[in-house]
Amino acid sequence: MPSLSRFIPALALLFLFALLPAPAPAAGMVSLTFDDGLASVWREAYPVLKSRGLTATVAVISRKLTSDDPDYMTPTEVHALAGAGWEVASHGLTHRHPTDLPPRLADEVLTGLAPAEARSPVLQVHYPWPALSLLLENGRELKAEATYQDMERTPGSYFFDATIQELSVHPAGDVSRPFELRAGSYEREMRQSKEELSALGFTVSAYVRPYNHWTPESMDVSRTYYQTVATGGERPNRAGDFTPLDVARYNVLSGTQVADVVALIRRKAKKNNAWVVLCLHGVEERLGWEPWPAARLAELADWLVKSGLPVVTLSQGAARLAAESGAR
């Protein structure tokens, strides 16, 4: 019969385990996000990640997606990414800066328009914002003309002289009838980009702020349309103080080396269980802001696979961190 003394070390060990803190929540995570929807993401980034079984999030500018501009991906290419497990996020309708436009839909209606001169069909008004994303006449979008003369001979168009902040409009319809002119707001950037992406067949629940800039008002408006919103901030996202409407990202610039990114992920995601979101733009080709070489993306992807860290999309990461924060 075994003596009691043989059980004592085992019991002591069990007792010690009971005193240890609960294991930390799942190890950190990493996300790759590509802003602007550049064609090089399809041509260069996608094959690199696909061959390693990784997915990412692409933040598209809805009007660029349908613009036939060869620098940007087409809806067909973005559908192929979505089919391969990538997340498609909105990056706005026209990529305007939030402080350049009226903040809300309620701020869009223009008043005080006056004829440019006697018997001219052109109406003019001082427009106080630095940019005009689009102009709607009774809900119908007018055509932006490059010169005053082009606008003057084209009903249903407008010309905005940003230098003197003068907006000239050649209405399409009869201005003596009920007539409303609306200048696109930042809220429209968020709402309509989602609507246009939905009309193209994409399911969109995340928004990526152009220029990584936000105002408290734009952040407040974003909750009406999106569950997850990413910005800049150069910090990790951690359970506890996490809000899905303010997902912080680190910029990966043309000069950023793989070793820098790996060190960052080791320090923040691996050791501290945080979620590191990387903000990239184009890959390899000289398109867009601060493109990253494909060879570096491949090296980073190899390291990520070896690290065993989960590589998640924006919405997956936000849902997981929100659940972890709620569980605390």
Residues in the site for Zn ion, rule: CB under 5 A? 35-36, 210
Calculate the alpha carbon distances from 218 to 58, 170, 181, 182 in Å: 21, 31, 22, 19
| Minimum separation from the CB atom of position 195 to Zn ion (A) | 20
**Are 16 and 51 a contacting pair, CB within 8 Å?**
no
If the CB atoms of residues 168 and 231 are measured against Zn ion, the closer one turns out to be 231
Euclidean distance between CA atoms 280 and 206, whole angstroms: 16
If the CB atoms of residues 35 and 196 are measured against Zn ion, the closer one turns out to be 35
Calculate the alpha carbon distances from 309 to 19, 27, 58, 157, 211 in Å: 28, 7, 20, 52, 28
| Minimum separation from the CB atom of position 277 to Zn ion (A) | 15
| Minimum separation from the CB atom of position 212 to Zn ion (A) | 8
If the CB atoms of residues 36 and 196 are measured against Zn ion, the closer one turns out to be 36
Euclidean distance between CA atoms 116 and 124, whole angstroms: 6
If the CB atoms of residues 210 and 282 are measured against Zn ion, the closer one turns out to be 210
| Minimum separation from the CB atom of position 206 to Zn ion (A) | 14
**Are 204 and 78 a contacting pair, CB within 8 Å?**
no
If the CB atoms of residues 171 and 282 are measured against Zn ion, the closer one turns out to be 282
The C-alpha angle 209, 211, 212, rounded to 5 degrees, equals 55
Closest CB to Zn ion: residue number: 35
Name the E strands within the chain: 29-36, 57-60, 87-90, 114-115, 123-126, 135-137, 140-141, 143-144, 157-161, 166-170, 181-183, 206-208, 228-233, 247-251, 275-280
| Minimum separation from the CB atom of position 96 to Zn ion (A) | 11
If the CB atoms of residues 210 and 244 are measured against Zn ion, the closer one turns out to be 210
Task: Give the distance, in angstroms, between the CA of residue 130 and the centroid of all CA atoms in the same chain.
Answer: 22
| Minimum separation from the CB atom of position 126 to Zn ion (A) | 29
